Amino acid sequence: MALAPRLDLRQTQSLVMTPQLQQAIKLLALSSLEIDAFIAEELERNPLLEIASGDGGEADTPEAMPTPSAEDMGSDQLLSDGNFATASEALDPGYASDPAEAGEGGGGADGMLGMNGIATSGSDFGDGPDFDAFAAPDISLREHLMQQAGASASGRQLLLLEQLIEHIEPSGWLGADLMGIAYRLGVPLAEMEEALGLLQRFDPTGVGARDLAECIALQAKEADRYDPCMAKLIDNLDLVARGAFDQLKRLCRVDDEDLRDMLVELRGYDPKPGLRFDSDEAAVAVTPDIFVSQQGKGWAIELNSANLPRLLVNRSYYVELSAGGRGDKAANNWLSECLADANWLIKAMDQRQRTIMKVATELVKQQEGFFREGVARLKPLTLRQVAEAIDMHESTVSRVTSNKYLHCSRGLFDLKYFFSSGVASADGDGASAEAVKAAIKTLIDAEAADDILSDDTLVDLLKEKGFDIARRTVAKYREAMGIGSSVQRRRAKKMGR
């Protein structure tokens, strides 16, 4: 067959991922803190973008761009500014074309209530003054130890103490080999041990320990309870963990009552005394993105307005800059780009909230039994079920439920909590794994000291409750909750744990 050039006409379809589409997809998966950081960067970069004031941002800028309504927030208009209308499936914004789903107080199926305006704040969850912001930060473990070192030593010994404190872990234990520290500093090991002995007398008691036994022993000495029997018990913590109480009685030469008292005292010591101090790493705050409250026979579902900054385009500033940059083509192009970016961000943020709202409404509808009666009525649910119910892609639901939290009368929950595998149940609808775990924990918490429930017994009791579950599944759920076997629980009950 001879090779020769030729022309062919082919028709193909492809999904073009423009930078704006990629950013819009990422916005769905961002948490509230990440959204705040993203918007702060955009406000700094784009001079036409601003946040509306709490007393009505439109009054400050008469020509400010109004927030798009549900009727004009269809997918074509949202994506047309970035010329990626063909990729609307990735965002699934088409549902907004139905005003009944995002309208003013529109009631959904089964008494579901929509949201009366995304940016409004008419709920009972309004923001109050943040008094915690006025509190002084708590001292860290390192600062606490440095203060004591400065008051207890000076000169060479203070230097050695500072080097040891630098190796103290957040738990309070010494996280480095003492001989290695002495070799690196070029000091005798005896001098290093003397500095460690001084450090171990600091508060909190047990700090500077090199292992669990030494940490417990330091606290026992501080409490004046480090007698030969307690010393032998601390030296055999592995036997305590295994519940070998008969062997411990022989080693410590005590009877049942004395061993019980020693174990009770042992449990009163803190194995990681450093954790009572704040870590150097700042804790990440979790704020709810969705509020769910009962309203009559249905549910009121509202987005947290504190997490929804109201973005506006400052039209008056745009006109002023346009007038001052006449004749400068580069400046006009930059200004037009800023205006397009600001308009796109406003629409993308509004669409993000509507998507979250729709997914949350379907979640409440699917898991209504949980909101009414608790975890025992949690049903098995998958992302595909929710996606099919609201006519979205499964990946979109996955992004929406990532790093989002829901607050209801039963507490604060990650949206992923409502998605779990299930087991067969008597009613045929299946039961969530979380519901089965809750039932297992309830049964174990209620067991008597002389009637410990085995896994086989738990299987029979769960079947009476309508859960068709195998013994190995019970063992898997029990271990996932950190609950010991029947033998371990019997030993613990016997010693009064």
Q: Is the pLDDT of residue 421 over 90?
A: no
Cis? peptide before 204, omega within 30° of 0: yes
Is the pLDDT at 82 greater than 70, yes or no? Answer: no
Q: What is the pLDDT of residue 311?
A: 86
Mean pLDDT for the stretch of residues 367-388: 88
Instruction: Count Cα neighbours of 371 within 13 Å in the Cβ-side half-sphere.
Output: 23
Cα angle 70, 72, 78; round to 5: 105
pLDDT band at 131 (very low <50, low <70, confident <90, very high): low
Segment 239-245 shows an average pLDDT of 84
pLDDT greater than 50 at residue 86: no
Computed over every residue of the chain, the mean pLDDT equals: 78
CB 462, CB 423: distance < 8 Å: no
Indicate if the pLDDT at residue 473 is higher than 90.
no
User: Distance (Å, rounded) from C-alpha 482 to C-alpha 497?
Assistant: 15
Q: What percent of the chain has pLDDT over 90?
A: 19
Contact 339, 48 (CB under 8 A): yes
pTM of the model: 0.56
Span of 102-111, 376-385, 484-493 with lowest mean pLDDT: 102-111
Note the Cα 479 to chain centre separation in Å. 22
Residue 109 is predicted with a pLDDT of 36
pLDDT of residue 219: 93
% of the chain with per-residue pLDDT over 70:
77
pLDDT surpassing 90 at residue 296:
no
Could you tell me the pLDDT band of residue 216, with boundaries at 50, 70 and 90? very high
To the nearest 5 percent, what fractions of the chain are helix, strand and coil? 55, 10, 35
Please check the confidence at residue 355 and state whether its pLDDT lies above 80. Answer: yes
Q: Comparing 58-72, 162-176, 359-373, which segment has the lowest mean pLDDT?
A: 58-72
pLDDT score for 100: 38
Residue 135 confidence class, pLDDT cut points 50, 70, 90: low
Query: Residues with Cβ < 8 Å from 194, sequence gap 6 or more?
Result: 157
- Model pLDDT for residues 24-72, shown as the tens digit of each residue: 888 888 888 888 888 889 889 888 888 876 544 343 333 333 444 434 4
Q: Indicate the pLDDT class of residue 364, thresholds 50, 70 and 90.
A: very high
Least confident residue range of 10-19, 163-172, 244-253: 10-19
How much is the pLDDT for 388? 92
Q: What is the predicted pLDDT for the residue at 320?
A: 83
pLDDT at 228 over 60: yes
Helix (H, G, I), strand (E, B) or coil at 49: strand
Q: List pLDDT tens digits, range 258-288.
A: 888 888 888 889 999 988 886 544 456 678 9
- Residue 165 is predicted with a pLDDT of 92
Task: Report whether pLDDT(438) > 80.
Answer: yes
User: Which pLDDT score, from 0 to 100, does residue 424 have?
Assistant: 64
With CA atoms as reference, report the closest residue to 415 among 431, 404, 426: 404
Question: Range with the lowest mean pLDDT among 96-105, 193-202, 332-341?
Answer: 96-105
How far, in whole angstroms, is CA 146 from its chain's centroid? 33
pLDDT for 322-344, tens place per residue?
777 676 788 888 888 888 888 98
